[in-house]
Chains A and B, each alone.
Chain A
Amino acid sequence: MQRIIKNGQLVDESWHLLPKDATLDGISNCDDLIVPLALWVDHSTALKARDGGLGVWLEAGEEIEEIADQLDNFQVIALNFPAFTDGRHCSTAYLLRNRYGYKGEVRAIGDVLRDQLFSYLRVGFDAFALREDKDPLDALKAFEEFSEVYQASTDQPLPLFRRRA
């Protein structure tokens, strides 16, 4: 079982991430599922009627605006990094937390590596599914790399210049 980082701790993964081309056929009623955006868009009523937990995941090019008024339906929103050098979802996470007031889990999936975690945490991610070949225990160190930051973001709503002693 994959272990993921959640709120700074390693936990066993309990959610199932459905692939991009997933359909409703044979879909579990009770499992906690993270479904691709397209499945949600086409079958939201059926998905809402299930008993298990529901999350949705977005490709880097998919826009959060598309579901901004439906966020209450999701316990998890997972944002996919096709490559760690693609920073689009850093803006998505920021918007989710600050513009759309989303309080559920925002999870980084895909090419998720230790050296990006500090900034992901800052913009609003609170869960991280590291790339499978990477050691999540080692990645925990990322959160302590910087003891001070300049900008306002999700983790620290005041920029340093409003906090400087």
Chain B
Amino acid sequence: MYVYDQYDQQIVEDRVKQFRDQTRRYLAGELSGEEFRPLRLQNGLYVQRFAPMLRVAVPYGLMSSAQVRMMAKIARDYDKGYAHISTRQNVQFNWPDLEDVPEILAELATVQMHAIQTSGNCIRNTTTDQFAGVAKDEIIDPRPWCEIIRQWSTFHPEFTHLPRKFKIAVNGAVGDRAAIEVHDIGLEAVQNEDGELGFRVSVGGGLGRTPIVGSFINEFLPWQHLISYLDAILRVYNRYGRRDNKYKARIKILVKALTPQVFAERVHAEWVHLKDGPTTLTEAEVARVAAHFIDPTYKVLDDQDAALAALDAEHPGFARWRQRNTFAHKKPGYVAVTLSLKPTGVAPGDVTDKQFDAIADLAERYSFAEVRNSHNQNIILADVEQAQLFSLWGELREHGFATPNVGLLTDIICCPGGDFCSLANAKSIPIAEAIQRRFDDLDYLFDIGNIDLNISGCMNACGHHHVGHIGILGVDKKGQEFYQVSLGGSSGRDASLAQILGPSFAEAEMANVIDKIIKVYVERRNEEESFLDTFRRVGVDPFKERVYAANH
């Protein structure tokens, strides 16, 4: 992974000093709350229902064991002993004291981490495929490009006060696990016929109140021009994005108002001035960054299909776990393993300090001392030897990471909701738990197969409910917490937004409603047909009929 040189380290240390002084001035009354607010937000510090919440940046989800141990330390020393993996691959602490934040940032800087631009109206942490660099279907490793974007976006002087937050995602694989089409900018690394590298560029995707799938405005941007083109997009947005209404301030609204075609022309007109200037990327720089992402020292191994099949036969639990929680690796004899952070009864994505320490340990012993956070709020050991899989499984079970549910109905994406968030209409974590309890039969869950179930506590859509195969949204109905259900969303390559099923439901009904929806699917599906495909074939009506049937 990327390792700071003296320049990167200096910038992060300067930031710690700067924020320490800003916090001091705020506490001394020299900065008003209103003046301090955007400053703290640009440092990942929200003030929430009970306490500030600090969002630590995990660039494109990658952490070393040393960094994971730092998460454990911060959770233990400054928080209540746990933290939360966010849907943008970051780590969130729910209970730090404002006074402690400068010290936390200083601690983070010792392991090359920070909280820069994890919130606020600026360019946020760039995200990517959690299997980057190891996926079998990868064409181009997105990580060096993410790092190049990270450096470009860090304290960009022209773009620190945008109309609204700005999120960039990069994908380099056949499948899209980075949901690029629901980002402000989505970049897909591609090769042209001559084998040259470039990017397909999507703009104006996003969730929130006005969910929109992005539009591709450039089918092939040669890699040298990545930064000048991003500068051009951001400049057009910074100048012309709406600032009069924060719900209409995302770039998606501008792109829609102008039409993607006109927006593309504006960007192009800006870009011709910047193209081939000093921001043109050099082979030397790309090579310098890419050198941090070369393969670790893999052994020459063979795939262990027979041995693993034998273990499967003997240990059905292992077989199940292997089926769901492992992912094919590009190197023979290796496999990527997802640690499920979704056991029933734990808020999805929560990790305790002890668990962080255990993860750091496991990463050292099994996976070259690195982990990745996924936007599905799980943690991945990307480079595990197949021959060690069985012993790893045993250890994961001890630590509560082996729930065999990755990609299944109970692997729920869920925002903090009313339990923590002051903007919530309704709680979301208890809904997740009620559904997990209802679907506790593993055979049934496996039979249902891949389902993305996403829950948000309000229309800000932190839980990505619009792109869940099943989406649940907390709504306020005359002061009561209700839930609206929608079906058919997808964040994959075939991105689509979910359709609302109908009137909302009370909390107590939710598990039943989901149960009915699943039953319709099971009855209607063709062999091997996924929930999403079935929904797309039969449409919303059969689901509606069942859920709102008269006896209900």
22 pairs, CB–CB < 8 Å, chain A vs chain B? A84-B35, A86-B161, A87-B158, A90-B158, A90-B160, A90-B238, A94-B158, A115-B35, A115-B39, A116-B161, A119-B157, A119-B158, A119-B160, A145-B14, A147-B14, A148-B14, A150-B11, A152-B279, A153-B158, A161-B281, A162-B282, A164-B7
Residues in chain A near residue B39, CB distance under 8 A: 115
Residues in chain A near residue B273, CB distance under 8 A: 99
Residues in chain B near residue A88, CB distance under 8 A: 238-239, 243
Interchain CB contact under 8 A, A161 and B158 = no
> C-beta contact mask, B30-44 vs A, less than 8 Å → 1, else 0?
100001001100000
Interchain CB contact under 8 A, A90 and B159 = yes
Interchain CB contact under 8 A, B158 and A118 = no
Q: Which 10 pairs across A and B sit closest by C-beta, in order of nearness? A: A87-B161, A122-B157, A119-B157, A161-B285, A150-B151, A90-B158, A146-B14, A145-B18, A148-B10, A85-B161
Q: How far, in Å, is B116 (CB) from chain A's closest CB?
A: 11
Closest residue on chain A to residue B35 by CB atoms: A113
Interchain CB contact under 8 A, A146 and B243 = no
Would A91 and B158 be within 8 Å (CB), given that A150-B151, A152-B278, A162-B278 are in contact? yes
Residues in chain A near residue B161, CB distance under 8 A: 84-87, 90, 116
Interchain CB contact under 8 A, A157 and B151 = no
Would A87 and B159 be within 8 Å (CB), given that A99-B273, A150-B152, A164-B5 are in contact? yes
A60 to B30, CA, bound (A): 26
Given contacts A86-B161, A153-B158, 16 further A-B contacts (CB under 8 A): A85-B161, A90-B161, A94-B158, A119-B155, A119-B160, A120-B157, A123-B157, A147-B14, A149-B11, A150-B155, A151-B152, A159-B152, A159-B227, A159-B279, A161-B281, A162-B285
Interchain CB contact under 8 A, A151 and B14 = no
Quick check: is A158 within 8 A (CB to CB) of the other chain?
yes
Interchain CB contact under 8 A, B238 and A87 = yes
Interchain CB contact under 8 A, B14 and A91 = no
Quick check: is B460 within 8 A (CB to CB) of the other chain?
no
Q: Restricting to B18-64, which residues have a CB under 8 Å from any CB of A?
A: 18, 22, 30, 35, 38-39
Quick check: is B80 within 8 A (CB to CB) of the other chain?
no
Quick check: is B121 within 8 A (CB to CB) of the other chain?
yes
Quick check: is A41 within 8 A (CB to CB) of the other chain?
no
Q: How far, in Å, is B220 (CB) from chain A's closest CB?
A: 23
Interchain CB contact under 8 A, A115 and B157 = no
> C-beta contact mask, A47-84 vs B, less than 8 Å → 1, else 0?
00000000000001001000000000000000000001
Q: Restricting to B227-265, which residues have a CB under 8 Å from any CB of A?
A: 227, 235, 238-239, 243
Residues in chain A near residue B7, CB distance under 8 A: 148, 160, 164
Would A146 and B158 be within 8 Å (CB), given that A86-B243, A90-B238, A159-B227 are in contact? no
Quick check: is B315 within 8 A (CB to CB) of the other chain?
no
Size category, B interface: 35 or more
Residues in chain B near residue A150, CB distance under 8 A: 11, 151-152, 154-156
Residues in chain B near residue A164, CB distance under 8 A: 5, 7, 285, 288
Would A85 and B11 be within 8 Å (CB), given that A90-B157, A91-B238, A159-B279 are in contact? no
A39 to B11, CA, bound (A): 44
Residues in chain A near residue B288, CB distance under 8 A: 161, 164
A149 to B281, CA, bound (A): 16
Quick check: is B109 within 8 A (CB to CB) of the other chain?
no
Q: Restricting to A96-141, which residues have a CB under 8 Å from any CB of B?
A: 99, 113, 115-116, 118-120, 122-123, 138
Residues in chain B near residue A146, CB distance under 8 A: 11, 14-15, 18, 155
Quick check: is B115 within 8 A (CB to CB) of the other chain?
no
A138 to B25, CA, bound (A): 11
Residues in chain A near residue B10, CB distance under 8 A: 147-148
Q: How far, in Å, is A79 (CB) from chain B's closest CB?
A: 12
Residues in chain B near residue A99, CB distance under 8 A: 273
Q: Of B121, B227, B278, which contacts A158 at CB under 8 A?
A: B278
Residues in chain B near residue A60, CB distance under 8 A: 243
Residues in chain A near residue B424, CB distance under 8 A: none
Quick check: is B187 within 8 A (CB to CB) of the other chain?
no
Closest residue on chain B to residue A141 by CB atoms: B21
Quick check: is B458 within 8 A (CB to CB) of the other chain?
no
Interchain CB contact under 8 A, B151 and A160 = yes
Residues in chain A near residue B121, CB distance under 8 A: 85
Residues in chain B near residue A120, CB distance under 8 A: 157
Q: How far, in Å, is A54 (CB) from chain B's closest CB?
A: 25
Closest residue on chain B to residue A155 by CB atoms: B157
Q: How far, in Å, is B174 (CB) from chain A's closest CB?
A: 30
Interchain CB contact under 8 A, A149 and B155 = yes
Would A87 and B278 be within 8 Å (CB), given that A115-B22, A150-B152, A159-B227 are in contact? no
A27 to B15, CA, bound (A): 47
A164 to B151, CA, bound (A): 13
Interchain CB contact under 8 A, A87 and B162 = yes
Q: Of B17, B235, B282, which contacts A91 at CB under 8 A?
A: B235
A146 to B16, CA, bound (A): 11
A119 to B38, CA, bound (A): 15
Q: How far, in Å, is A128 (CB) from chain B's closest CB?
A: 14
Q: How far, in Å, is B258 (CB) from chain A's closest CB?
A: 16
